[in-house]
């Protein structure tokens, strides 16, 4: 692997961009701001290598951006309804920064922090200390995001968090993908397949109702591949609420909960699910296969990308120019006892994995 590092100034301090190139010329570029992905260069069916990860031309534009472009969202990715969080016998009021709700850990969430950087032989280990009271979350937290890039164009992400007291955590990567090229326009013609029979139903503010609804016979059914645009304009509540897809699907688990030990939480299974999500382009021949042990995946069809900072082509993105696929815990899980738990403590750390496999 060939690894190079560049440093750029921004209001939060110097940002490191680390570019890792494998022997085939395919590359990833990672950023210490938000422990993020700012570029993924992979071949199409004809061998042409091109960036497929949306990003900005100016590294400083990633700070406090609305789309959370390519970054690690936290402490709690996605929404916590009305910022209401209960841990133990205490209730915490979190910042309201997305309509009536708390989103992605608040205005100064992990995505807007500069992480410590350690180079690896084929990747980067980013680490961040979040003190007790950070964005009003309880407990000290040490977070680690480790990326590794392979000769087979596989980007693995290890997400870890350790704490000294009970708290909640939900980490994910928030990259946007356009497999025809990052700046090529709409990605709605991409085919999407999700191993999910159910999705997390929400109200009109995109806060979960607590119901896990069947995808069958609805626009939420991606159990077989279909283009994202197929049902995007259907008169369906979830699509009206978000101006497109902005929803969490329940990944089908590979182990039947009945086989778990008596008394075990049915959501405790953490085995990797291969091809939990597959995004593909008929035009370029590229496909992105996502393996994960996360219980859910939020798919956001880039409904509000318009007005974002200039990309490397010198223009801003338009709505639907990229698709975010965020393997994660369920939104608002702390307020829904029936959802997979996102609580951790000193004896029960957080460990999750996401793998992006690029094929052509």
Beta bridge partners of 76: 170
| CA–CA gap between residue 298 and residue 251 (Å, rounded) | 10
| CA–CA gap between residue 95 and residue 86 (Å, rounded) | 14
To the query of whether residue 336 is one of the catalytic residues in this protein, the response is: no
Q: State how far the alpha carbon of 322 is from the alpha carbons of 103, 178, 295, 325, 327, in Å.
A: 20, 5, 23, 10, 16
Cβ of 162: how many Cβ atoms within 10 Å? 17
| CA–CA gap between residue 263 and residue 265 (Å, rounded) | 7
Contacts of 259 (CB under 8 A, 6+ apart): none
- The residue annotated as part of the active site, out of 101, 102, 104, 174, is 174
Asked if 92 contacts 85 with a C-beta cutoff of 8 angstroms, the reply is yes
Buried b / exposed e over 314-339, threshold 16 CB at 10 Å, is eeebebbbbbbbbbbbbbbbbbbeeb
Asked if 255 contacts 167 with a C-beta cutoff of 8 angstroms, the reply is no
| CA–CA gap between residue 321 and residue 169 (Å, rounded) | 29
Cβ of 207: how many Cβ atoms within 10 Å? 19
Determine phi and psi for 254, rounding to 5 degrees.
-85, -10
Pick from 117, 136, 145: nearest CA to 17 = 117
- The residue annotated as part of the active site, out of 41, 135, 269, 326, is 326
To the query of whether residue 174 is one of the catalytic residues in this protein, the response is: yes
Asked if 261 contacts 207 with a C-beta cutoff of 8 angstroms, the reply is no
What's the distance, CA 35 to chain centroid?
A: 12
Q: DSSP assignment of 282-333, as one string?
A: TTT--EEEEEE--SEEEEE--TT-TTPPB-TTSSB--TTS-EEEEEESPTTG
**Active-site amino acid positions:** 174, 326
């Amino acid at each position: 692997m060939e690894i190079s590092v560049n440093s750029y100034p921004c209001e939060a301090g110097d940002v490191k961009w680390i570019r890792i190139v494998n022997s085939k010329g395919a590359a990833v570029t990672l950023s210490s701001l938000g422990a993020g992905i700012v570029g993924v260069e992979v071949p199409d069916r004809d061998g042409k290598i091109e960036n497929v990860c949306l990003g900005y031309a100016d590294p400083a534009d990633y700070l406090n951006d609305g789309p959370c472009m390519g970054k690690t969202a936290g402490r709690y990715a996605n929404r916590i309804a009305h910022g209401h969080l209960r841990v133990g016998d205490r209730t915490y009021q979190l910042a309201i920064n997305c309509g009536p709700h708390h989103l992605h850990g608040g205005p100064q969430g992990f995505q807007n922090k500069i992480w410590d950087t350690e180079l690896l032989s084929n990747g980067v280990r980013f680490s961040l200390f979040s003190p007790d009271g950070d964005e009003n979350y309880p407990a000290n937290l040490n977070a680690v995001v480790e990326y590794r890039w392979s000769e087979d164009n596989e980007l693995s992400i290890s997400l870890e968090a350790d704490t000294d007291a009970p708290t909640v955590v939900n980490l994910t990567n928030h990259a946007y993908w356009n497999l025809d090229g990052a700046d090529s326009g709409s990605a709605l013609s991409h085919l999407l397949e999700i191993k999910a029979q159910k999705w997390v139903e929400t109200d009109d503010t995109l806060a979960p109702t607590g119901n896990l609804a069947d995808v069958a016979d609805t626009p939420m059914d991606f159990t077989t591949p279909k283009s994202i645009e197929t049902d995007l304009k259907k008169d369906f509540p979830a699509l009206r609420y978000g101006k497109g897809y902005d929803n969490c699907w329940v990944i089908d688990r590979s182990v039947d909960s009945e086989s778990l030990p008596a008394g075990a939480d049915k959501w405790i299974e953490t085995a990797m699910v291969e091809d939990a999500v597959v995004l593909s382009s008929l035009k370029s021949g590229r496909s992105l296969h996502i393996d994960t042990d996360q219980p859910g995946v939020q798919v956001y069809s880039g409904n509000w990308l318009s007005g974002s900072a200039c990309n490397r082509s010198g223009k801003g993105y338009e709505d639907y120019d990229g698709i975010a696929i965020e393997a994660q815990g369920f939104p608002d899980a702390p307020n829904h006892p029936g959802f997979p738990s996102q609580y951790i403590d000193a004896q029960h750390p957080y460990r999750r994995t996401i793998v992006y496999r690029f094929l052509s």
